[in-house]
Amino acid sequence: MQMPTCLVHCLGLVPYEQAWKLQDELAAQIAAGQQLPTLLLLEHPHTYTFGRRGKEQNLLWSPAELEQHGVAVYWVDRGGDVTYHGPGQRVAYVMLDLRERGRDVTKFVQNLEHWIIGALADFNVKGEIRDGRVGVWVERKGPGWSREDKIAAIGVRVQRGVTMHGFALNVDPDLVWFDRIVPCGITDAGVTSLADEVDGPAPGLVEVARRLEPLLAELLSFEPYQSSPDCAALPHPTPAVTMGLTV
C-alpha cells in the first residue's frame, strides 16, 4: 500500500503557545482529510511545560523567579511531566493519522525513539532506550562512576486519531535551565546534549534537521517527504519558512 507524503516545515523560533495552536489547527485538518501528514521543526523561547501527569513541585522556581527570567509556563495535553524547551533544541512535532497505522500509540512512540537514535548515530553518539522510561538516553561514564542522562524527551497526544506534539532533542541548549526543574519527574538521572557528547564542535540545528528528515520514510512509513524550501540551506538561526502556514 502506498503511504502518504509528509510535509516538512522549518519554522525557526516560535513561541510555544503559537506552535500549540498551529498543531491543533493542522491536526483538525488531517483528521478531516484536508491536510497531509505534517512535521514541524522549530525552536521555542525559554519555556517549561507540564504534561498530563505533571506535578507542580517539579518546577523549582517561584512565580517571581519565572517572571524575572522571562520564562513561560504551560500545562498542556501531552503525556509526561515537566520539561524544558528553549534555544538550542531541535523540537519536532509530528502530526499524522494513526488510524492509518494500526492505532498503536506505543509503536508510534517507539518509532520516535528509534528515529532520534538513528540521527544521533550519524554523529557517532549512541542513544539508547530504557524500559519504563520514555525518551532517548546516553550512558555516561568516568573513573569510578556511570549514569544515564536524557538527551531527548518525548511526549505525545492522540486527538481524533491524529498525533500531536513529539520530541525535543538537546542539540546545544544551555543545560542550566534544566536545573530549575525535576526533568520528567525523574530524580535519579541527568540531562545531556549533543554538544556534550560529540567530539569537536556541536552540529547546528539545520544539520540535525537534515539528518532527521530522511529517516521519516523508514521509521514513520512515509513515501519520500516534501521539505519546505531547501531547509538544508537555511542559515542558523533559522528564519521562518512557513509555506502558507500562519505562525
**Span 134-157, pLDDT tens digits:** 899 999 877 877 788 999 999 999
36: in domain = yes
Range of the domain at 34: 7-233
Give CA 58 to chain center in angstroms: 20
Residue 108: strand, helix, or coil: helix
84: in domain = yes
In tens, the pLDDT along 166-187 reads: 999 999 999 999 999 887 777 7
4 preceded by a cis bond (ω within 30 of 0): no
Q: Is 69 exposed, middle or buried (0-12, 13-18, 19+ CB in 10 A)?
A: exposed
184: in domain = yes
Using the Cα atoms of residue 36, residue 40, residue 123 and residue 147 in order, give the sign of their dihedral: negative
246: in domain = no
In tens, the pLDDT along 53-106 reads: 888 999 999 999 999 999 999 998 887 888 999 999 999 999 999 887 777 888
154: in domain = yes
The angle at the Cα of 35, spanning 120 to 74, to the nearest 5 degrees, equals 60
Residue 172: which CATH number? Answer: 3.30.930.10
183: in domain = yes
In the set 6, 10, 184, 231, the catalytic residue is 184
Number of compact structural domains in the chain: 1
13: in domain = yes
Determine how β-strand 47-50 pairs with β-strand 82-85: antiparallel
Is 10 a known active-site residue? no
245: in domain = no
